[in-house]
Amino acid sequence: MSNTNFKHKMAAHCESGAVTSLLNNAGLEITEPMVFGISSGIFFGYFHKMRSFAFPTFIVRNKPGSIRNNLAKRLGVKFHTEKFRDADKGMKRLDELVEKNLPVAVQVDFFYMDYLPEWERVHINVHFIVVVGKMGSKYIISDSYFPKLVELEVASLKKARFAGGSMSPKGFLFYPEFIPKEIDYPKAILKGTKKVCFNMLKIPMPFLGIKGIRTFGKKIVDWPSFARDTEHLSHEIMKINILLEDQGTGGAGFRFMYASFLQQGAVLLNKPEWTLLSKEMMEIGDGWRDISLFASRIGKNRDLEPDKLKELGMMINERADVEERFFHRLKNSLN
Amino acid sequence: MKEKDGIINCPQQQLILYVEKEDGKYEPIQTGSYLTSNYLDDYEQKRHHLEESLKKQILAKEISPVYYYMILEDLTVSELSARAGLRKGKVKKHLKFEHFKELPQETLQQYADVFNTTILDMISLISEQKDNTLNAKPVS
């Protein structure tokens, strides 16, 4: 049993991709950058020490689940959501929905998505895929990170939906159950943007927003003290590239996709200054891309002496400066 | 980023990148991963070195196969204990070689599920250790 009408499309990010895909297939024409922008997706957070991470790390988007929640609130869309204590009940419920030809998004541990190459797969409990059918012992999956529909064994999906650990999915699933006929896009865009400016500029914690970028730039010189050896440090430094480019961001830690949102917003809001801001955001993204390339190069060459890490830290701090000026200008444009 | 700069030939790992098209619009293209395209061999080499180093530590009875997989899968003790459904103190104990052999099948299965491997594969790391020990014995 599979939903033959479902149109699979790759997307930059798994959550905004799954939400966009479900809405598009339910008849609402909306782009992924618009979903990302309205839901205040762009963000920054740096975590130097956390129990669930073996090494310092950073995030470039808002909290998992926020894209769906914020979008629903701002557009008036209603998503049906369910969580399960019992794995068998969770799988049975999914089968019932799939049987009705309903595409359903599920939260999974990325590690068990065995159609992806081994080097890509890590334990992270906040990956979102859309289940569009079932054939025998396999589900038909639409994953934003894969070019076509794929099959996944029932046992793998069960493990992935009910993996334990931090942010465990608990079988979470969702699908749209109501889409309003009329949507006030300008209002939603402004609300989403206002929140983004607050998140980047005003959150008082030193590890979040612009302050978080600065903390990252400052603390990266301490990374060698967490590493087992040079190869471990090289691996972690090269992961900066993965987090900014490869782990579903649309490039430059979501900055390129956010530029696309601002460009679309300029037309919908009739705000010519947003066209300039979108150009600026694209250039900010180019700077992040330079960081990705620099990190992968020094990692590969094992050129990880303190002066190189300091140079990397300075490049990161420069991003904090330009983003701070940018988000102030964006905030002022809302008045 | 201009479209021409975003085009990377890497069929093994495709992704979506937002670029500036010729008409000035910022739109998505399907392209390849820069990192995989240029540095996959480096990743594989580091992974191989890490596996070999951890296997040597099993051989020297310094660590258990649970530790081996925990490091390879980039998990912390807290995260592994939450995923396997075992107390942190127990997991810490199971990281040591001498305690691994006492593990019941049920606990081994809990770990194997987390690591997406089999009990047999986990035990074979110990068997390799035995084989290597046998091979190391001089033939009299």
Triad A185, A191, A193: Cα angle to 5° = 100
Q: Which two tokens mark A55?
A: 């090494």
Confidence tier at A4 by pLDDT (50, 70, 90): low
Yes or no: say if A39 and A62 are a contact pair by the CB < 8 Å rule.
Answer: yes
User: Residue B131 and residue B109: Cα distance in Å, rounded?
Assistant: 24
User: Residue A108 and residue B14: Cα distance in Å, rounded?
Assistant: 20
Mutate to test the interface with A, among B18, B33, B69, B114 (most CBs of A within 10 A): B18
Decide if pLDDT at A148 tops 60: yes
CB contact under 8 A, A12 and B28: yes
- Tens digits of per-residue pLDDT, B22-54? 999 999 999 999 999 999 999 999 999 999 999
User: Residue B28 and residue A264: Cα distance in Å, rounded?
Assistant: 13
For residues A51-62, give the mean pLDDT: 91
Decide if pLDDT at B130 tops 70: no
Regarding beta strands A173-178 and A78-82, do their DSSP bridges make them parallel or antiparallel, or are they unpaired? Answer: antiparallel
Decide if pLDDT at B135 tops 50: no
What is the least distance, in Å, from the CA of B119 to any CA of chain A? Answer: 16
Question: What's the confidence (pLDDT) of residue A266?
Answer: 98
The average confidence (pLDDT) of chain A is 96
User: What are the CA-CA distances from residue A86 to residues A92, A130, A161 (Å)?
Assistant: 10, 21, 11
Decide if pLDDT at B136 tops 60: no
Yes or no: say if A100 and A74 are a contact pair by the CB < 8 Å rule.
Answer: no
Helix (H, G, I), strand (E, B) or coil at B70: helix
Tell which residue, A145, A147, A327, A325, has the closest CA to residue A245.
A145
Question: What's the confidence (pLDDT) of residue B138?
Answer: 42
Residue B74 has φ and ψ, to the nearest 5°, of 60, 40
Yes or no: say if B110 and B87 are a contact pair by the CB < 8 Å rule.
Answer: no
SS percent in chain A: helix, strand, coil, step 5: 55, 15, 30
Mutate to test the interface with A, among B10, B16, B111, B115 (most CBs of A within 10 A): B16
Question: What's the confidence (pLDDT) of residue A50?
Answer: 83
CB contact under 8 A, B74 and A123: yes
Query: What's the start-to-end Cα distance of chain B, in Å?
Result: 69
Confidence tier at A51 by pLDDT (50, 70, 90): confident
Query: Which residue shows structure tokens 């993996």?
Result: A163
A265 touches chain B (CB under 8 A): no
Tell which residue, A308, A291, A295, A212, has the closest CA to residue A251.
A291
User: Residue A321 and residue A310: Cα distance in Å, rounded?
Assistant: 16
Yes or no: say if A74 and A39 are a contact pair by the CB < 8 Å rule.
Answer: yes
For residues A168-189, give the mean pLDDT: 97
Residue A331: alpha-carbon gap to chain centroid: 23
What is the least distance, in Å, from the CA of B97 to any CA of chain A? Answer: 20
- Tens digits of per-residue pLDDT, A80-117? 999 999 999 999 999 999 999 999 999 999 999 999 99
Instruction: Extract the runs of DSSP E, i.e. beta strands, from chain A.
Output: 42-47, 57-61, 78-82, 104-108, 127-135, 138-142, 150-153, 173-178
Looking at the partner chain, which of B1, B16, B43 has a beta carbon nearest the beta carbon of A286?
A: B1
Cβ within 8 Å of B, A 83-122: 111-112, 114, 117, 119-120, 122
Tell me the β-bridge partners of A47.
A57
A259 touches chain B (CB under 8 A): yes
